Chains A and B, each alone.
Chain A
Amino acid sequence: MAVNEAEETFKRLATLPGVQGIIVMNNDGIPIRTTLPQNKTALYVGLIHGLAVKTKSAIKEMDHQNDLTFIRLRSHKDEVLIAPDKEFTMIVIQKPAIQ
């Protein structure tokens, strides 16, 4: 079943060291699956949705044939990995093991 496979892969991702949360949202900015509490999910989804859309349009404007595949956002405390797609976007927050 598709759901079970999805679950399996989710759990595998979650067990990788440093992963703090995983969010799956659709392209309207509504979270579908998340491992974080609701307020944090809303925060991430709201902000990253805008960022993903803007980045995609920026890349498309620079070169029409180009397209966005992946965004990596590195900050002092953690890293946010964003994988956009036609209908959904997956967000993973990781705290890197090395300082």
Chain B
Amino acid sequence: MSKPASRASQKPATSSTSRLSNGSAKPRDTSAQKPNKHNSNKKSNNPFDEYTIDCPPGLYRLFLSSGTQSNLNIRSDEDITQEDNFRSIPKQAILDDIYNKQALSDFSPLRKQIEEYPEDEITLVYDYEFQHDKNFYICLNIGLKELIHNPPIVLPPEPQKEPPKYQPPESKPWVSQGSEKEIDEHSFKDKRPLLKFNVKIAKESLKRNAHFIDIESDDKKNLNISIQPFEDSSFQTKMIETEIAIQAAPMLLDSSAQTIWRYPKNAATQSEPRFLDKKECEKILGQEDIKSFINQSIPELESALQQNILFNAFENDWELLGDEMSSIGGPGDMHLKEYQSFSDIHNSKNKVVTCVQWHPELKGIVAMSLAENFNFYDRMDNISKSVITPSMILIWSFFDPIQPKLFLEAPDDVFSFAFSHSDPNIIAGGCINGQVVLWDISPWEERIKNPRGDHRDKDLFIPGFEDETYFQTPRIRYCALSSLEHGHSSPITDIFWLPDHFEIDRMGFPTESKDHKNCQLMTAATDNQILFWDTRSKSANTKKKDSDLPMNVPDTFKHLGNWRPLLKVSLPCSDPGGDFAPTKFSIAEKQGDKSTIELEDKLEIEKKEDPNKGQFVAGHGKPTSGKGSRLLQHLNTRISVGTEDGQYVYVDWLPQKDADTSKLTTSKAEWYQSILDGPIVAMKRSPFFKDIILIAGGTGFNIWREKVFSGALLQTKSFSKRICDAEWSPTRPGVFFIAKSDGTVDIWDLLDRTHVPILTQSISINKLTYLSCKIVASNQQLIALGDSMGTLHIMEVPWSLRRVVSGEYQAVKAYFARETERRDYVKQRWDFREEEKREIERQNALKAGLGPPHIPTEDEITFRLKGEYNEYLQFEAAILRELGLRDDDDDQPAAIAVN
């Protein structure tokens, strides 16, 4: 029971009230409303409640004043204490108290109950905790009284018994239970000793003469009985149940091995080169014998060196001969052969191929993105339909032209995408709504690596356990999506992974990247912005958000969350016509080309080297900052951008502090010019020359050299059809391909003719939209062309267009150098003409009588000024003499030499 428990445990905790209420029938609801009880006490209908709060029936709370306490000898903390807290008071004493004091008695509210109490002694309990303003309980229930007087003993908790220790069984002497009798009965024993007999046949009985006769074998005489074989049924019973005993025993095997160590041999050796210090070297150098050595060997070396300069003795004439002959190939050699064509029946109808990319590592895998072939108004009309049909990137394998290997789902039509070079399982794409999407296809890597995983692999599966989803092309959802507010607000037209040897920080400064992974992206969209994105998580401890990615989506990019760009490059323009809306861009750094890093290394070495060569140089290549990744100062941070209006803009991505607002914004474009009559569709750097860019758009294309701003190196006249894409050949420096809107491809060769293409070939009846080249093998080069009806054509480049012609690189380099000089010359002539024009104007002005007669040159001006000054000095001296302040024979002020 609760009340005795409170006494026994002696804890002055406030939870004793709750213990009181345990098991109480009446005040169960009062215990639930315990905090409110004080407030509701005043309003309760029953004024008696204050005596029965939290009490079981029969127990009442009372307040006994000290006078009453001393009368009854139950003074708190003197006669009656917390531990020893109950007393049996004679009922009569209480009744006397009531009669004497009437209404003033402490017991008066309970008068009736006390009078009704059957026994002679009433138990009073002292409440040490003074709950509810009452310090005593009066017990008017016999059952409770018994409990108070004889509280059930709370046993101390049993001590934790230790688990019994295992004792192995001891052997005891055998006690017979009568079983040996049974065994005796069933066992076989000799009842008597065995007898031995020796039997012999008597010799006389053996000596009998045998007498043989012949008998016919007749059945009538029954002389013989034939016993036929018959089946004995007793052998037919099958033993279905037998009792056998089995025992398992471990097999014990002994085995050993021994190596044969025929002879001791060094597995690895490490050596260090020896060096002499400076003083030793100088001592040796000072000796005589080195002088004679040098004098001896130098002539021979010099002659060898000079021979090499004059004549290349190791030229292979045979090889060089062959090249000249083969360039006279007929037109039949120069065709692009159709290799394969991909079209998906279900998904590619009426869709435009917006971008085609080859897989950087695997052969035979190509990806293309599809978009609806709508203009803006049609798109608005059909917006409900396009929301349902998902936009996709298809990944094809050459081995299966009917069914794509993978579908990558995107939230909206994808207009450009790119594989990451360091990890080709990561694909970044830009959508029409301005979002950047990331996919991770590493769980499905097997599907594209294994070329023939399709219906031909039926026997891979056990019948009945087939995985139907294996034969369907999986649809892969995107892993990460950029934030809509902070990203682009118009279709992303170009996307580019930053090369893995450098990375930029928030201020745009390029630093050397140590882990060599493509982790940053650049995107351009027609909302006049180029954004830099970083795919790594910003903080080391990523927030553990509940993964709300659906199943099957890898969580490589879960840390990106609400993905914001790292750096914004805006392209403002003060000219009328608005800001620049970039369609394509190109930066000087290329994946795999670490020349800027090597240049940094070299410059550092040169800085540390002593001025006179011939000394040892130590400690090159150390980073300038202590942290390990150094700032690349010589990296060209400018972007060449092509815009929607056919302009070529050259802008620096490093943000500068704006003078007016002192905020970091992109500075004004270093240079821009309108060069083509339509939006720029391609801006490609030549794989052989870092600063030559092929720019195509509208109805023509140009070739520019970066930083030569006076004009294009090559400009073509307008064609009849618009150009859709352009690409350099990966092996021949002077060859490039142009895709046009009438479905033809033009092949241009700069060394052959520069005013017309050397070959025009029609590929498809539809408009071609994208062109991409790839070297698949040393003897195979393929071009992927996407068209506006969702078909991807793969063409093979013929040998003549793929093989490098001897000296081509030099010839093309010389051509570009010539063109650059021509631009310089053109610039000079312009300047000259400007001068001439000004001269003519001045002459005209002179004739009209307005201009000055003679514009003095700088020398003439100086001469005149010096003459004037000397005159002034003499004048000053004369005046001073007149004034008498200076005598005649004082030294004259030095006249300035005039020559």
Contact = CB atoms under 8 A, between A and B. Distances in A.
A94 to B, nearest CB: 6
A97 B309 contact: yes
B620 A37 contact: yes
B275 A96 contact: no
A74 interface: yes
Contact of A85 (B276, B288, B293, B306): B293
B314 interface: yes
Contacts of B301: 13, 81, 83, 90, 92
Given A2-B288, A6-B290, A16-B305, A32 B298 contact: no
B195 interface: no
Nearest to A95: B308
Nearest to B306: A16
Contact of B302 (A13, A24, A33, A97): A13
Nearest to A1: B286
Contact of A13 (B274, B275, B291, B298): B298
Given A5-B291, A98-B311, A26 B284 contact: yes
B269 interface: no
A3 B305 CA distance: 23
- Secondary structure call for the B interface: helix
Given A13-B302, A87-B293, A46 B273 contact: yes
A94 B307 CA distance: 11
Contacts of A94: 305, 308
Interface in A1-48: 2-3, 5-6, 9-10, 13-14, 16-19, 24, 26, 28-35, 37-38, 41-42, 45-46
Contact of A92 (B275, B294, B305, B309): B305
Contact of B616 (A13, A38, A92): A38
A79 B301 CA distance: 12
B289 interface: yes
A18 B617 CA distance: 22
B614 A10 contact: yes
Given A6-B285, A90-B297, A98-B311, A81 B304 contact: yes
A72 B605 contact: no
B327 interface: no
B297 A45 contact: no
A28 B273 CA distance: 11
A87 B302 contact: no
A54 to B, nearest CB: 17
Contacts of B242: none
Interface in B337-359: none
A96 B290 contact: no
Contacts of B620: 37
Contacts of A19: 305
B300 interface: yes
Contacts of B295: 5, 9
Contact of B273 (A26, A42, A74): A42
Given A18-B309, A38-B617, A90-B297, A45 B273 contact: yes
A98 B276 CA distance: 37
B285 A85 contact: no
A18 B312 CA distance: 13
B298 A9 contact: yes
Interface residues of B, number: 39
Given A6-B285, A29-B274, A33-B614, A98 B312 contact: yes
A2 B286 contact: yes
B314 A74 contact: yes
A60 to B, nearest CB: 19
Given A13-B301, A35-B614, A30 B290 contact: no
A28 B306 CA distance: 29
B281 interface: yes
Interface in B253-302: 273-276, 281-282, 284-291, 293-298, 300-302
Given A10-B614, A19-B305, A32 B605 contact: no
Interface string B503-527: 0000000000000000000000000
A13 to B, nearest CB: 7
A97 to B, nearest CB: 5
A44 to B, nearest CB: 10
Contacts of A26: 284
Contacts of B285: 2-3, 6, 32-33
B273 A34 contact: no
Given A13-B302, A74-B314, A28 B309 contact: no
Task: Among A33, A79, A94, A99, find the residue whose CB has the most chain B CB atoms closer than 10 A.
Answer: A33
A66 to B, nearest CB: 17
Nearest to A85: B293
B618 interface: yes
A6 B287 CA distance: 11
A81 B850 CA distance: 76
Contacts of A88: 290, 293
B613 interface: yes
Contacts of B308: 18, 79, 94, 96-97
Nearest to A5: B291
Contact of A96 (B312, B614, B616): B312
B281 A32 contact: yes
B293 to A, nearest CB: 5
B762 to A, nearest CB: 40
A9 to B, nearest CB: 5
Contacts of A13: 298, 301-302, 305
Interface string A44-77: 0110000000000000000000000110101000
A76 to B, nearest CB: 10
Nearest to B297: A83
A3 B286 contact: yes
Nearest to A41: B616
A6 B605 contact: no
A66 B605 CA distance: 44
A32 B276 contact: yes
A35 B613 contact: yes
Contacts of B617: 37-38
B812 to A, nearest CB: 15
Nearest to B298: A9
A12 B30 CA distance: 113
A42 B618 CA distance: 12
A14 B614 CA distance: 11
Contact of B276 (A9, A18, A30): A30
Contacts of A18: 305, 308-309
Nearest to A31: B275
Task: Among A2, A26, A34, A79, find the residue whose CB has the most chain B CB atoms closer than 10 A.
Answer: A2
A40 to B, nearest CB: 10
Given A6-B294, A30-B274, A72 B304 contact: yes
A30 B275 contact: yes
Contacts of B297: 83, 85, 90
B400 to A, nearest CB: 42
Contacts of B302: 13, 16
A83 B273 contact: no
Contacts of A2: 285-288, 290-291
A49 to B, nearest CB: 10
A74 B616 CA distance: 27
A81 B301 CA distance: 7
A22 to B, nearest CB: 9
A32 B284 contact: yes
A38 B605 CA distance: 11
A87 B309 contact: no
A46 B312 CA distance: 28
Interface string B585-618: 0000000000000000000010000000110111
Given A13-B305, A37-B616, A87-B289, 14 more contacts: A2-B287, A5-B295, A6-B294, A10-B614, A13-B301, A16-B306, A18-B308, A30-B275, A46-B273, A87-B290, A94-B305, A94-B308, A96-B308, A96-B309
| Top-6 shortest CB links A-B | A98-B312, A2-B291, A83-B297, A42-B273, A96-B308, A37-B617
11 contacts: A6-B291, A14-B613, A18-B309, A19-B305, A29-B274, A30-B274, A32-B276, A41-B616, A97-B308, A97-B309, A98-B309
